[in-house]
Amino acid sequence: MSTEFDPIQHHPDAEAQGRYLQHFLQSTEDVLPALRRRTQDVLAAKGIEDVDREAYYPIEDVAGVFQNIAASMGERTLSRGAEKMGLDLPVPASVDSPHAALERLDDRHRESCRISPDADESGPAATDPAGGYDVTFVDPATARVAITDRYPFPDVMAGGIVRGAVNRLTDANTSVRTERVPTDHGERAAWEITWA
């Protein structure tokens, strides 16, 4: 698993909406108070004292927060925080199954990322500033989920969000399993997730 940040992949003027950080902060309260404090400390070091849900922040700053957590507290801790984030993300009433949650995953990510309004919006990265998720359903209770090579956050974060989103919409008797699988061209990481 790689948590190295590669600024070449995403658009240099990509931004992430504050709700990404806000959801993570809210979720960390229940997971591990030290994780919330660490996240706030890293944000403060980047000059972000209070996260504005509607504001946009440079993708390097947002990704840097998650990279710092993975490096200082471990990938497992970041993954747990991301999984709780996936459990807590608000979803419309129409999203009532793991299948529906996974179908909406890429849209949610892309809605939260944009190119700065002051940026040069030319080139191929302009239409895909911060990557996303690619979901293929294998059967009614299995999906292959990949993040594209432009996805700027640590791989373990994506894996945690996916697990949380699926767990949220399964009952207590359902076992959710996630297994890392080989990537295809244009993908940074991929998982097979099964709920049964």
User: 35: closest CA among 79, 1, 2, 5?
Assistant: 79
Q: Mean pLDDT, the chain, as a whole number?
A: 87
Q: Copy the structure tokens of residue 132.
A: 């996303």
Cα separation of 83 and 163, whole Å?
A: 6
pLDDT value of residue 123? 59
Specify the amino acid at residue 62. V
User: 167: closest CA among 94, 112, 85?
Assistant: 85
Cα separation of 13 and 158, whole Å?
A: 21
pLDDT value of residue 31? 72
pLDDT value of residue 8? 44
pLDDT value of residue 97? 92
pLDDT value of residue 34? 86
In the chain, which residues have pLDDT < 70?
A: 1-10, 120-127
pLDDT value of residue 4? 47
Region for residue 123 given its phi and psi (left: phi exceeds 0; alpha: psi -120 to 50; beta: otherwise)? left
- For the stretch 94-114, pLDDT in tens is 889 999 999 999 988 888 888
pLDDT value of residue 122? 61
Cα separation of 69 and 53, whole Å?
A: 21
Strand partners, 180: 191
